[in-house]
Structure 1
Amino acid sequence: MEDSELDIRSLVEKYEQARVLGKAMYFDADEFASLADYYNSEGDSEEAERLIDEGLKMHPGSHELMLMKVKVLVFLEMYEEALEYMQWVSDDEDVDFLLLKIESLLYLGHDDEANDLINNILGRNLTPSDYYYFITEVGYLLNDVDQFDRGIQLLEESMSINQTNIDTIVDLAYAYEMKGDYEKAIVYNNRLLDIDPYSFEGWVNMGKLFSMNEQHDKAIDAFDFAITINEDDVSVLKMKALSLFLNDNVDESIALFEECLQRSPDDEAVYDSLFESYATMERYDELVDLIDRKEALFGSKGIVIKRAFVCVYTGDYKKANELFNQVPEEERETLDYFMLEAELAFHHKDYPRAEGAYIKAALVSEGNEDVLDRLANISVVQGKFEQAAQYLEELLELEPNYPTAKSRLAFIRFEIGSKEPFDEIMNQFSDKELRSLLGLIMGSDADDFSDYSREKILIRLNEARENRVLFKNIKY
């Protein structure tokens, strides 16, 4: 045990004994500050505040105690009060004080003022240790308020000074993940595993990152490492099962989900994952059995809709309609209800009703990729090509790699005929994708255009688009 730890424990014992005995206490300003810091770190901010106030009565000019008061106010997220109190403490040379001020400004949304202060301090002649400390702490603060671009910039610079700071590596991995740059997040998570190769959390995070980066085979391997370290964690088994499903190993996925159910029979989410897996494999008898098991354990909520979907999957639309009409009133404002309504309406070619149901689904589940996909489809069926294009563009913003979305948007832009939007989507295609698209439009094999340059492919595509516009003008 270090001397500093012994000193604070001795001081805390002295203070608490005095309180129990009801004795008057006298401490130096730095002792009051140390005690307040201790209780604040223990989560007892009320005791910390009391110590600071007592200390300031005895030592009213103590900069250390005034700084501690600011620290406690910030800890309590009383940012306006902290900034107001800082006017009495003003110390433009104390890095900790400046960091507290920046934190308060950022959390109050005064970004311009915070950034001006950051730039001002970075422009000063700080000592190397103060400079490193400042950019590292500001990087953490910026990540905390989701200002990842500058947070990453400062933490990358911090890493160039000290490559062994684990907290910085963790924050960079987090920031890159939040930015959607999973490759970079994986790089930094790998650094953590280099430091601690048997980190359960490290391998779990790696599995999640690989999964989000659609590297499902690597995600499975990472989850296997985590399971080796802690074989009793059912949540990791579920993540591995999901990765197997996404990697098209559906049979293995089902077997693992069933194992999860055996280990954790009260986990309702596993039933929903198994429902999707069985439906994908068209194992409808097992799907019905699964629904029965879920109903027996959790009750009838959502069960009628599940049974109706099974009827849709098997083509029994008469029974599906009967079940749809039996859905309890309290379940008729849910995503599943609206999706079922839309599926049934689409089957009966009631496209306006189907579209209305999908719109309701979109309202209760904003940013749902599957709903946007269906809205695009129903818009095309009704000849609403501009509307379909808008839905697909929104879908591609959410998920740039959503299956077939880009090619469908290209065909819709081709059908609409406007040059600029068509050129814009063409710019997002690789040369190989452009050859495939030209082959589909021309009714030829993509290999027929293997010697075409990108420029020549685009010329041919635009010629086809113009001919389509001319044909439609003649026809109508």
Structure 2
Amino acid sequence: MKQNKASHLLDKFLAAQKAGKEIYFDADEIDDILERLEDREDYTHYEAILSLGLRLHPGSTELRIRQCKLLIYKEEFNQALDLVDSISDAAHLELDLLRLECYCALDQYHKVVSYIEAHLNDDREELEEVFEYLAPIISDMDMNEETSDFIQRGLKIFPNNMILKDELCLHLEAIGDIDGAIKICNELIDKNPYSVDYWFMLGRLYSMSADYEKAIEAFDFALTCDDSDIELKILKAYCLYMNDNFEKAIEVYSDIIDTDNSLRDRITPLLAECYIKQEKYEEAYRLLKKHLSEKETNSVEDISTFLNFIRCCMETERETEATVILNKALELYPDNIRLLSILAIKYTEDGKDKEAKEITEKLFRLIDEANDSLVDNAESLFQTAQYLNLKNDIREALKYYLKILNIDPKMPLITMYIAMAYLSLGDIEAFNKYYNLTPQEELADFFNKSGIDLDDLLRNLESKHIEPENLTKEYLKNKGHRN
């Protein structure tokens, strides 16, 4: 009834505004209209109606409070604080809450602490409301020390408050204490075992700690509480994918598309990745070809979609199509490290040594200037280096290996690849240098997988009777070692 009345009042205001006429409402009617607009999150006429109300009823505490909220929403905190302090109703809890919110925004947390300490013996329900109101606000302001202090103060007084524990869980997640967040989340679930939000939160936390089995289990519990949350299903499918359960991930992704076809564009590339992991390149190729063909010619697509489609084309012997999509991707992402790495390989295959050298120089320059993930860049360069090595272009491969060492010195076996490249070039001194830099456990792994007899290699080196050009071939021929 109240909402219907507010809607009717709003219609009267809009009609008067359209006719250019002034209209009268009492303060409560203005407040009802504004409350209705807030509920609908429709702020189109909010300021105009509030302005009218303040002209008609300049002394209304409720309307002035709404004016304070509007100023805070517009981040005009000093003005909001001045207005709060000018309102004479000193015993108004809502005014206290707004004042404390302004203190936080103006980096005056010490005043919040003073308020809490001054009201420890006052109404407990009102004090608890202060903590519940302010905790998420402080947390959203990225005030880590203050957030931790405020939540701990609140839990010391109200140890069973679920809102504060919820905020503590989110805060621990934000500062990277995932184990601590999981512990608190389990406490929340103990109190409310049928909360889809808590189970979803627990699954997300486990996924962040790469414990995908437990994440999937938590998501399954969440889905028993509410099976309509699409984001939950997407994250579950991701965890299944990360847990190498590709068949089940395909089932979940397919179910999402069947449930909501509007998500097809978003889900199709994820579904294709599952098929690629199963080496079902033809299925992935068909999915991605249809997906890309439905896009506008110059529409921006996630780079991984292009990369996966190029890989599917190569794996299914569609080299011409791979070249076409590579060129299209390069038009959209001309400085992408992974695309340029593929282009360098293509030029090498085509015998275009000059172009390959130019792309390599561009790659290295971009990496030196890059602000994105160096590890991702190193992985892209590594794939190119391995290809060049397989093609017996050892000198070019070595350039890549050395660049990788520079940007990601912790990459497993990188010093051993450099050592073997130098060995293939007959540089025994450089081989010894990088061989000795390789950790013993990595050496054992390398020679175990490569099929090279370490003792025989060392004897040949000592006698200088070596045939270096063939030493890495068996290792690199293994498909699993080229990725």
Which one is further off, 256-265 or 364-373?
364-373
Structure 2 equivalent of residue 251 of structure 1: 247
> Is the CA contact (8 Å cut-off) linking 2:313 and 2:322 kept in structure 1?
no
The answer to whether 1:151 aligns with 2:153 is: no
In structure 2, relative to structure 1, the CA distance for the partners of 1:39 and 1:340 (3 Å cut) is closer
Distance 1:133 1:229 in 2: 29
Shift of the alpha carbon at 1:67? Answer: 4.6
Residue deviations 1:14-39, cap 9 Å, x none? Answer: 99999999996667xxx699768845
Distance 2:335 2:400 in 1: 26
In structure 2, relative to structure 1, the CA distance for the partners of 1:23 and 1:333 (3 Å cut) is closer
Structure 2 equivalent of residue 81 of structure 1: 79
Shift of the alpha carbon at 1:164? Answer: 4.0
Distance 1:243 1:289 in 2: 24
> Is the CA contact (8 Å cut-off) linking 1:312 and 1:320 kept in structure 2?
yes
Q: Percent identity?
A: 18
TM-score (norm 1): 0.63
Q: Secondary structure at the match of 2:332?
A: coil
> Which residue identity is paired with 2:362?
G
Distance 1:219 1:324 in 2: 40
Aligned pairs for 1:269-284 within 5 A: 269-284=266-281
Structure 2 equivalent of residue 171 of structure 1: 167
Residue deviations 1:142-162, cap 9 Å, x none? Answer: 211122332133113312322
Q: Secondary structure at the match of 2:235?
A: helix
> Is the CA contact (8 Å cut-off) linking 1:244 and 1:253 kept in structure 2?
yes
Distance 1:291 1:345 in 2: 24
Distance 1:287 1:336 in 2: 26
In structure 2, relative to structure 1, the CA distance for the partners of 1:232 and 1:18 (3 Å cut) is closer
In structure 2, relative to structure 1, the CA distance for the partners of 1:368 and 1:187 (3 Å cut) is farther
Structure 1 equivalent of residue 422 of structure 2: none
In structure 2, relative to structure 1, the CA distance for the partners of 1:313 and 1:276 (3 Å cut) is same
> Is the CA contact (8 Å cut-off) linking 2:3 and 2:36 kept in structure 1?
no
Matching residue within 201, 204, 223 for 1:227: 223
In structure 2, stretches of 5+ residues that fail to align are 17-21, 386-396, 420-437, 448-483
Shift of the alpha carbon at 1:373? Answer: 4.0
Distance 2:143 2:406 in 1: 29
> Which residue identity is paired with 2:270?
S
The answer to whether 1:162 aligns with 2:158 is: yes
Q: Secondary structure at the match of 1:332?
A: helix
Structure 1 equivalent of residue 53 of structure 2: 51
Aligned pairs for 1:40-189 within 5 A: 42=39, 45-46=46-47, 47-56=49-58, 59=59, 66-86=64-84, 88-89=86-87, 96-97=94-95, 99-104=97-102, 106-107=104-105, 110-111=106-107, 114-122=108-116, 124=118, 126-128=120-122, 129=124, 132-189=128-185
Structure 2 equivalent of residue 399 of structure 1: none
> Is the CA contact (8 Å cut-off) linking 1:159 and 1:165 kept in structure 2?
yes
Residue deviations 1:204-228, cap 9 Å, x none? Answer: 3322222112110011112222333
> Which residue identity is paired with 1:121?
Y
Matching residue within 189, 192, 199 for 1:196: 192
Count residues with an aligned counterpart. Answer: 391
Which one is further off, 299-308 or 152-161?
299-308
In structure 1, stretches of 5+ residues that fail to align are 1-5, 394-403, 415-435, 446-476
> Which residue identity is paired with 1:382?
K
The answer to whether 1:382 aligns with 2:399 is: yes
TM-score (norm 2): 0.62
Shift of the alpha carbon at 1:304? Answer: 7.2
> Is the CA contact (8 Å cut-off) linking 1:193 and 1:203 kept in structure 2?
yes
In structure 2, relative to structure 1, the CA distance for the partners of 1:281 and 1:155 (3 Å cut) is same
> Is the CA contact (8 Å cut-off) linking 2:84 and 2:98 kept in structure 1?
no
Distance 2:250 2:360 in 1: 32
Structure 1 equivalent of residue 310 of structure 2: 308
In structure 2, relative to structure 1, the CA distance for the partners of 1:119 and 1:65 (3 Å cut) is same
Structure 2 equivalent of residue 392 of structure 1: 408
Structure 1 equivalent of residue 331 of structure 2: 332
Q: Secondary structure at the match of 2:408?
A: helix
Residue deviations 1:113-162, cap 9 Å, x none? Answer: x2343344355464353654445444322211122332133113312322
RMSD over aligned CA atoms reads 5.0
